[in-house]
Structure 1
Amino acid sequence: MTRTSRKPPRDPGQLSGKPLAETLEPSSILHSETEDWTTSRDLTENGLSFVPEVMQDLTLYLLANPNVNSSHLFRADILFDSEGIMRTPREKAQSFALTGNANAEAIASTGGRDGVEDEVEVELTPARDVPGFTLTRTIVRRLVPRNPKLDRTLDQTCHFYEAETMAGTEGGCSRSLVIYTPHITKEEDIPYYHPTLRSLAYLYDYNITTTNTTNSNPTIPEHPSQDPTSGSNPGPGTLTLHTLLFPNLPITNRLERTLQALLNTQIRLARTTRLPTPSSSSPSSTSTATNQKHLGANKNPLKDNILPQHLVQDTYTRLKAKYASDLCQRWVETTEPSKHVFEDLSIAAFLIELWRSMYGVVPSDERSPPGDAITTTTTTTTTTSKFPGFVDVACGNGVLVYILLQEGYEGWGFDARRRKTWAIFPERIQSRLKEEIYIPAPFSDAVGVGVGEPSSGSSSNPISNPNPNPNPNPFNLTIPTHTGHFPANTFIISNHADELTVWTPLMAALLCPTNPSPFVAIPCCSHALSGAKYRYPPPKGERTSASTSASNKTGQGEQQPDSGDLKALRKERQDAQASEASEAGFLKSMYGSLTAKTMAVAEEVGYEVEKTLLRIPSTRNMAVVGGRRGTMLRWKGGGGELMNGTEVRVVGGADADADAEEVVAKVMAAVQRECAREGGVEAAAKIWIERARGINRGPGMGKQRGGGH
Structure 2
Amino acid sequence: MTRPRFNPSPCKGSDATTLQFDQTSLSWTPIVSCPADFPPELFELAVSQLTHHPEYNSTLILRSEVIEESAEVFPVSVPLLRGLRPVRNTHRRLLPRRPTRDSGLEQHCTLYAPSHPSGPDAFHPTVLVLTPILPSDGSLPYYYPTVTHLAFRIIPPTSSESAVLRMEALPLPGTPLDQGGRLYRTCLSLLETLHRYGWGTLTHYKKRVLHDVLLPRETYQDLYLIMRERYKHLIDDWHEVTDPLKHVFEDIGIATFLMLLWKDTYGPETIPPLPVDSTGLANEPSRHWPRPPGGFVDLGCGNGLLTHILVSEGYAGHGFDLRSRTSWAHYPPATQSRLLRNGADDGQTTATTARTLLPADCFLIGNHADELTPWVPLLATRVRASGYLSIPCCAWGLDARFDRARDVPRCDVDAETLNLGAGGEGAWSSYALYRAWLASLSVHCGWAVEVEMLRIPSTRNWAIVGRKRVGSSEEADDNVEELIEGVRKRGQFKTRRPEGKAGGDH
- If the length of structure 2 is used for normalisation, what is the TM-score? 0.84
Q: State the alpha-carbon separation in 1 of the partners of residues 156 and 239 from structure 2.
A: 60
Residue equivalent to 1:152: 103
Residue equivalent to 1:239: 165
Structure 1 vs Structure 2 CA RMSD: 4.1
Q: State the alpha-carbon separation in 2 of the partners of residues 249 and 415 from structure 1.
A: 57
Equivalent residues in 2 for 1:296-311 (5 A)?
A: 299=207, 301-311=209-219
Q: State the alpha-carbon separation in 1 of the partners of residues 393 and 48 from structure 2.
A: 35
2:33 pairs with 44, 63, 77, which one?
44
> Residues 124, 360 of structure 1: CA spacing in aligned structure 2 closer, same or farther, 3 A cutoff?
farther
> Residues 171, 313 of structure 1: CA spacing in aligned structure 2 closer, same or farther, 3 A cutoff?
closer
Residue equivalent to 1:82: 70
Question: Percent identity, aligned pairs only?
Answer: 31
Q: Which secondary structure state, in structure 1, belongs to the residue aligned with residue 446 of structure 2? A: coil
> Residues 696, 246 of structure 1: CA spacing in aligned structure 2 closer, same or farther, 3 A cutoff?
closer
Structure that is richer in helix per residue: 1
Q: Which secondary structure state, in structure 1, belongs to the residue aligned with residue 469 of structure 2? A: coil
Is 2:305 the counterpart of 1:399?
A: yes
Residue equivalent to 1:653: 469
> Residues 194, 375 of structure 1: CA spacing in aligned structure 2 closer, same or farther, 3 A cutoff?
closer
Is 2:464 the counterpart of 1:624?
A: yes
Residue-by-residue CA offset, 1:347-393 (whole Å, 9 max, x unaligned): 111112212222367999x9999579x969x9899558875411111
> Residues 385, 187 of structure 1: CA spacing in aligned structure 2 closer, same or farther, 3 A cutoff?
closer
Residue equivalent to 1:31: 21
Shift of 1:583: 5.2
Q: State the alpha-carbon separation in 2 of the partners of residues 54 and 251 from structure 1.
A: 30
- The letter of the residue matching 1:654 is V
Q: Does structure 2 conserve the Cα–Cα contact (< 8 Å) formed by 1:58 and 1:273?
A: yes
> Residues 146, 123 of structure 1: CA spacing in aligned structure 2 closer, same or farther, 3 A cutoff?
farther
Q: Does structure 1 conserve the Cα–Cα contact (< 8 Å) formed by 2:44 and 2:125?
A: no
- The letter of the residue matching 2:32 is L
Highest CA radius of gyration, 1 or 2? 1
Residue-by-residue CA offset, 1:121-174 (whole Å, 9 max, x unaligned): x99665443343333222122212111111011111111122276667x99796
Q: State the alpha-carbon separation in 1 of the partners of residues 158 and 277 from structure 2.
A: 65
Q: State the alpha-carbon separation in 1 of the partners of residues 448 and 247 from structure 2.
A: 30
Equivalent residues in 2 for 1:409-488 (5 A)?
A: 409-441=315-347, 443-444=348-349, 468-469=351-352, 482=354, 486-488=358-360
Residue equivalent to 1:591: 431
- The letter of the residue matching 1:310 is E
Shift of 1:540: 6.4
> Residues 500, 483 of structure 1: CA spacing in aligned structure 2 closer, same or farther, 3 A cutoff?
farther
Q: Does structure 2 conserve the Cα–Cα contact (< 8 Å) formed by 1:81 and 1:140?
A: yes
Query: Which structure ranks higher in relative contact order (CA pairs < 8 Å, sequence separation ≥ 6)?
Result: 1
Residue equivalent to 1:522: 391
Is 2:480 the counterpart of 1:667?
A: yes
Q: State the alpha-carbon separation in 1 of the partners of residues 212 and 148 from structure 2.
A: 33
Q: State the alpha-carbon separation in 2 of the partners of residues 54 and 543 from structure 1.
A: 38
Shift of 1:699: 5.8
Residue equivalent to 2:221: 313
Q: Which secondary structure state, in structure 2, belongs to the residue aligned with residue 179 of structure 1? A: strand
Residue equivalent to 1:256: 184
Q: State the alpha-carbon separation in 1 of the partners of residues 22 and 477 from structure 2.
A: 76
Shift of 1:71: 1.6
Q: State the alpha-carbon separation in 2 of the partners of residues 200 and 367 from structure 1.
A: 54
Q: State the alpha-carbon separation in 2 of the partners of residues 144 and 367 from structure 1.
A: 36
- The letter of the residue matching 1:409 is Y
Q: Does structure 2 conserve the Cα–Cα contact (< 8 Å) formed by 1:136 and 1:160?
A: yes
Q: State the alpha-carbon separation in 2 of the partners of residues 171 and 133 from structure 1.
A: 14
Q: State the alpha-carbon separation in 2 of the partners of residues 618 and 368 from structure 1.
A: 39
Shift of 1:544: 12
> Residues 383, 75 of structure 1: CA spacing in aligned structure 2 closer, same or farther, 3 A cutoff?
closer
- If the length of structure 1 is used for normalisation, what is the TM-score? 0.62
Residue equivalent to 1:62: 50
Shift of 1:180: 0.8
Residue equivalent to 1:116: none
Q: State the alpha-carbon separation in 2 of the partners of residues 75 and 539 from structure 1.
A: 41
1:509 pairs with 381, 402, 409, which one?
381
Residue equivalent to 2:234: 327
Q: State the alpha-carbon separation in 2 of the partners of residues 136 and 129 from structure 1.
A: 12
Shift of 1:428: 1.2
- The letter of the residue matching 1:189 is S
Residue equivalent to 1:271: 199
Q: State the alpha-carbon separation in 1 of the partners of residues 410 and 332 from structure 2.
A: 51
For structure 2, the 5+ residue unaligned runs are none
> Residues 545, 123 of structure 1: CA spacing in aligned structure 2 closer, same or farther, 3 A cutoff?
closer
Q: State the alpha-carbon separation in 2 of the partners of residues 72 and 519 from structure 1.
A: 33
Is 2:442 the counterpart of 1:602?
A: yes
For structure 1, the 5+ residue unaligned runs are 17-22, 85-121, 210-214, 216-234, 278-297, 445-454, 456-467, 470-480, 548-578, 628-651, 701-709
Q: State the alpha-carbon separation in 1 of the partners of residues 212 and 231 from structure 2.
A: 24
Q: State the alpha-carbon separation in 1 of the partners of residues 276 and 108 from structure 2.
A: 37
Is 2:199 the counterpart of 1:199?
A: no
Is 2:488 the counterpart of 1:681?
A: yes
Residue equivalent to 1:177: 127
2:246 pairs with 316, 319, 339, which one?
339
